[in-house]
């Protein structure tokens, strides 16, 4: 009997959890899912906040140690389990992958996070149209800038960084899912759309998508 010592605290629609599901599956690392419902505010339960005082997802427990913040966890996984790599070894490629990942993780995702949209409704009485306009605006700003960046640097090919799956792709795919969920087309972003479609041909991305998770509803 195999006893797993790796646990992922996740929610099916959490894009940051989606990143970790992709990374773990791409690296072939088995894990046990612990489902934390964001709509039911289970991430704010006292028992969960003992594990992650920030009260956010995802949380990875590996070998008895807890790790938070998805991009930091991906870098940890790449150092602890280096094959197949998600961070390039060449210094300039590594900086590029981190830049693409941070455009998504630091510039796009925080502005369109569900808790931000919820705050717009509660604090500023934003109606559905106003919230949708906010979301669409920041998606357009983010993806437009990202498309231009990839075009100007010229490192993209099959994936964001040539022929290698990297953290950049792992961050991109969940953000596209988010955009599609809110009815925002990516058709005008030819580079990003192509990369997204090619990533979704791979099992690590396909099997990690929200609708296939055991807690999906």
pLDDT of residue 135: 95
CATH of the structural domain 6-84, one choice from 3.30.70.60, 3.50.50.60, 3.40.30.10, 3.40.30.160: 3.40.30.10
Q: Quick one: three-class SS letters along the chain? A: CCCCCEEEEECCCCHHHHHHHHHHHHCCCCCEEEECCCCCCHHHCHHHHHHCCCCCCCEEEECCEEEECHHHHHHHHHHHCCCCCCCCCCHHHHHHHHHHHHHHHHHHHHHHCHHHHHHHHHHHCCCHHHHHHHHHHHHHHHHHHHHHHHHHHCCECCECEECECCHHHHHHHHHHHHHHHCCCCCCCCHHHHHHHHHHCCCHHHHCCCHHHCCCCC
The residues spanned by each domain of the chain are 6-84, 91-204
Q: At what angle do helices 167-181 and 70-80 cross, to 10 degrees?
A: 150
Q: What is the pLDDT of residue 1?
A: 38
Residue 181: CA count within 13 A, CB half-sphere: 16
Q: What is the Cα–Cα distance from 139 to 56, expressed in whole angstroms?
A: 22
- Candidates 176, 152, 199, 167; CA nearest to 101 is 167
| Token code pair at residue 115 | 């808790």
pTM: 0.95
Scanning the structure block, which residue is given the tokens 């972003």?
A: 189
Residues in Cβ contact with 84 at an 8 Å cutoff, skipping those fewer than 6 apart = 26, 27, 165
- Give the CATH number of domain 91-204: 1.20.1050.10
- Mean pLDDT for each 10-residue chunk of the chain (217 residues)? 77 97 98 95 94 96 96 98 97 98 97 91 95 96 98 98 98 97 96 98 98 95
Mean pLDDT of the chain: 96
Q: Which two tokens stand for residue 128?
A: 């559905």
Count Cβ atoms below 10 Å from residue 178 Cβ, excluding itself.
22
Cis peptide before 58 (omega within 30 of 0): yes
pLDDT at 4: 62
Q: Residue 217: what pLDDT? A: 86
């Amino acid at each position: 009997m195999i006893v797993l010592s790796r646990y992922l605290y996740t929610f099916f629609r959490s894009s940051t959890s989606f990143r970790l599901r992709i990374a773990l599956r791409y690296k072939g690392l088995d894990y046990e899912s612990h489902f934390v419902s964001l709509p039911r505010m289970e991430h704010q339960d006292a028992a969960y906040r003992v594990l992650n005082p920030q009260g956010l997802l995802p949380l990875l427990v590996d070998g008895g140690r807890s790790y938070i913040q998805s991009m930091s966890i991906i870098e940890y996984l790449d150092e602890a389990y280096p094959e197949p790599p998600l961070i390039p070894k060449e210094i300039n490629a590594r900086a590029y992958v981190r830049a693409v990942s941070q455009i998504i993780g630091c510039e796009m995702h925080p502005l369109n996070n569900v808790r931000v949209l919820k705050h717009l409704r509660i604090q500023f009485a934003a109606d559905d149209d106003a919230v949708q306009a906010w979301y669409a605006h920041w998606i357009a700003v983010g993806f437009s800038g990202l498309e231009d960046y990839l075009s100007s640097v010229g490192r993209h090919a099959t994936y964001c960084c040539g022929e290698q799956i990297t953290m950049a792709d792992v961050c991109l795919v969940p953000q596209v899912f988010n955009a599609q969920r809110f009815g925002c087309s990516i058709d005008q972003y030819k580079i990003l759309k192509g990369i997204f479609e090619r990533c979704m041909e791979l099992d690590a991305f396909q099997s990690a998508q929200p609708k296939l998770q055991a807690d999906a509803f």
